[in-house]
Amino acid sequence: MYFAENDADNPQKNKFYSTKNNEKQGGRMDVQTSIQKRVEWIRKILSESGAKGIIYGNSGGKDCTLVGALCKLATDNVLGVIMPCQSSQNYGSDRDDALRAGKHFGIQQIEIDLT
């Protein structure tokens, strides 16, 4: 379960927490800190690898959407590859979700049909 402490006058101070066990936070996990740690890790990997950007598979699901958002926070040079396959039961809605997620985060996208 997640909850927020919002400061309408200063959105930068907004905090999001999880009620999952986290002893360091007295039972609360600071989601903002967790996000920042992951973004820093992605930047470190990019720097160490010499890569100029990130290419990731975007299925339109929650995991891929989160990966895309974290990558976009780490670098502007992100490409989402949508690989729909008509044999998938949710072909149309998965593709639409992937396109919507990429557009929402300003991620360049290409589509390769695997049918």
One domain for residues 4 and 43: yes
Which is more confidently placed, 113 or 42?
42
User: Average pLDDT for residues 101-108, to the nearest whole number?
Assistant: 94
One domain for residues 61 and 110: yes
Q: The domain spanning residue 115 has which CATH number?
A: 3.40.50.620
Query: What pLDDT shows up at residue 67?
Result: 95
One domain for residues 40 and 62: no
Selection from 90, 65, 81 nearest residue 113 by Cα: 81
Number of domains in the chain: 2
Give the sheet arrangement for strand 29-30, strand by strand: 2-5, 15-18, 29-30
Q: What is the mean pLDDT of the chain?
A: 81
One domain for residues 105 and 60: yes
Query: What pLDDT shows up at residue 4?
Result: 46
Query: What pLDDT shows up at residue 3?
Result: 43
- Which two three-digit tokens encode residue 58? 């975007």
Q: Which residue has the tokens 């999001």?
A: 16
Query: What pLDDT shows up at residue 75?
Result: 96
- Which two three-digit tokens encode residue 35? 């996000």
Range in 7-16, 44-53, 91-100 with the lowest mean pLDDT: 7-16
**Is residue 6's pLDDT more than 80?**
no
Which is more confidently placed, 114 or 16?
114
How, if at all, do strands 78-82 and 15-18 pair?
unpaired
Strand positions, DSSP E, 1-115: 2-5, 15-18, 29-30, 54-57, 78-82, 108-111
pTM, 2 dp: 0.72
Query: What pLDDT shows up at residue 85?
Result: 78
One domain for residues 76 and 112: yes
User: Average pLDDT for residues 44-64, to the nearest whole number?
Assistant: 94
- Radius of gyration over every alpha carbon of the chain, rounded to an integer in angstroms: 17
Domain of residue 74 covers 52-115
